[in-house]
Chains A and B, each alone.
Chain A
């Protein structure tokens, strides 16, 4: 029997989460950034770090991302889950052929969240 083996180091949002990413928080609507981070991104990231491999996140194939979804998903890793920017840069690689400008945006969210985390310390 043919079985499909999903690569644990590749997270394709359109295939594994949704083709219609939603708002920032769970209470705002379906497929939120909070849901994606907590239920999909974090478990994969922990696994990737444990296995010593980079987690590649593919943004393509969805109907489009809102700013808040991306901020909550990636900035939230620093703000809520205690990760720091250098280790996220070491373990996460975000790719997008359709909307390459999103990569710069995500980088800005990470830097802003890191700046806030540094200020709190």
Chain B
């Protein structure tokens, strides 16, 4: 932060000094050695205005960076949650799968809310993860209705003693959905970083 402020002061000084030097060199400005109160007031007000504008620019740049960092942090949390599902691509205990899916869902919601608070509409298409969340929830926890025929045998899932198992085809679908989800998160991270 101190380095940032110091840099800003040095740059401001160099710009001011440079423009003065150019103006003097071209005879655009001539010095009158007498000082009056109005000149002093004029200098003071110019310096004060410069400081206020500089401070405003500095604050707004810092806020932008903080917002970006916050969004990226949310996306990292979401990515961690999605990665935790990779343990279950061949099935597993439902009491472990459900909390992991809830974590993904809640992270997706919090990313969306954070973007809404920041109010940057350009980011919205990149942070819409709810459809992918729903797809994963369905693939990892949906079982057939009682008496349902075997039309969807390739996608069949069964639960015994709170443990779900599914066909290799369904496992492959889950793995590819997780990969797509992670790719979407990377895309969102890249977009936010470029903003």
A is bound by B: yes
Q: Which residues of A contact B (CB under 8 A)?
A: 20-25, 28-30, 63-69, 71, 79, 98-102, 105
Residue among B98, B142, B146 with most chain A CB within 10 A: B98
> Is B138's CB within 8 Å of the partner chain A?
yes
Q: Which of B100, B137, B162 is close to A23, meaning CB atoms less than 8 Å apart?
A: B162
User: How many angstroms from the CA of A21 to the CA of B134 in the assembled complex?
Assistant: 18
Q: Which of B95, B98, B134, B138 is close to A101, meaning CB atoms less than 8 Å apart?
A: B134
Pair A101/B130 contact, Cβ less than 8 Å:
yes
Closest CB in chain B relative to A61 CB, distance in Å: 11
Chain A: which residue is nearest B95 at the CB level?
A20
Pair A21/B98 contact, Cβ less than 8 Å:
yes
- Chain B residues with Cβ under 8 A from A67's Cβ? 137-138, 141-142
Q: How many of chain B's residues have a CB under 8 angstroms from any CB in A?
A: 28
Q: Which of A22, A28, A30, A98 is close to B160, meaning CB atoms less than 8 Å apart?
A: A28
Q: Which of B109, B146, B161 is close to A29, meaning CB atoms less than 8 Å apart?
A: B161
Leading 3 A-B pairs by shortest Cβ distance: A64-B102, A66-B141, A64-B98
Pair A64/B101 contact, Cβ less than 8 Å:
yes
Q: Which residues of B contact A (CB under 8 A)?
A: 94-95, 97-103, 105-106, 108-109, 130, 133-134, 137-138, 141-143, 145-146, 159-162, 164
User: How many angstroms from the CA of A55 to the CA of B165 in the assembled complex?
Assistant: 35
Chain B: which residue is nearest A101 at the CB level?
B130
- Chain B residues with Cβ under 8 A from A101's Cβ? 105, 108-109, 130, 133-134
- Chain A residues with Cβ under 8 A from B130's Cβ? 101
Q: Is the contact region of chain B dominated by helix, strand, or loop, or is it mixed?
A: helix
User: How many angstroms from the CA of A30 to the CA of B137 in the assembled complex?
Assistant: 19
Residue among B101, B133, B141, B160 with most chain A CB within 10 A: B141
User: How many angstroms from the CA of A74 to the CA of B101 in the assembled complex?
Assistant: 20
Pair B98/A29 contact, Cβ less than 8 Å:
no
Closest CB in chain A relative to B85 CB, distance in Å: 12
Residue among B97, B161, B162 with most chain A CB within 10 A: B162
Residue among A67, A69, A71, A99 with most chain B CB within 10 A: A67
User: How many angstroms from the CA of A64 to the CA of B133 in the assembled complex?
Assistant: 13
- Chain B residues with Cβ under 8 A from A64's Cβ? 98-103, 105
User: How many angstroms from the CA of A20 to the CA of B23 in the assembled complex?
Assistant: 76
User: How many angstroms from the CA of A24 to the CA of B146 in the assembled complex?
Assistant: 9
Closest CB in chain B relative to A82 CB, distance in Å: 16
Pair A99/B106 contact, Cβ less than 8 Å:
yes
- Chain A residues with Cβ under 8 A from B143's Cβ? 23-24, 28, 68
- Chain A residues with Cβ under 8 A from B137's Cβ? 66-67, 105
User: How many angstroms from the CA of A29 to the CA of B103 in the assembled complex?
Assistant: 22
Chain A: which residue is nearest B157 at the CB level?
A68
Pair B95/A63 contact, Cβ less than 8 Å:
yes
- Chain A residues with Cβ under 8 A from B95's Cβ? 20, 63
Q: Which of B98, B106, B109, B145 is close to A66, meaning CB atoms less than 8 Å apart?
A: B98
User: How many angstroms from the CA of A101 to the CA of B162 in the assembled complex?
Assistant: 24
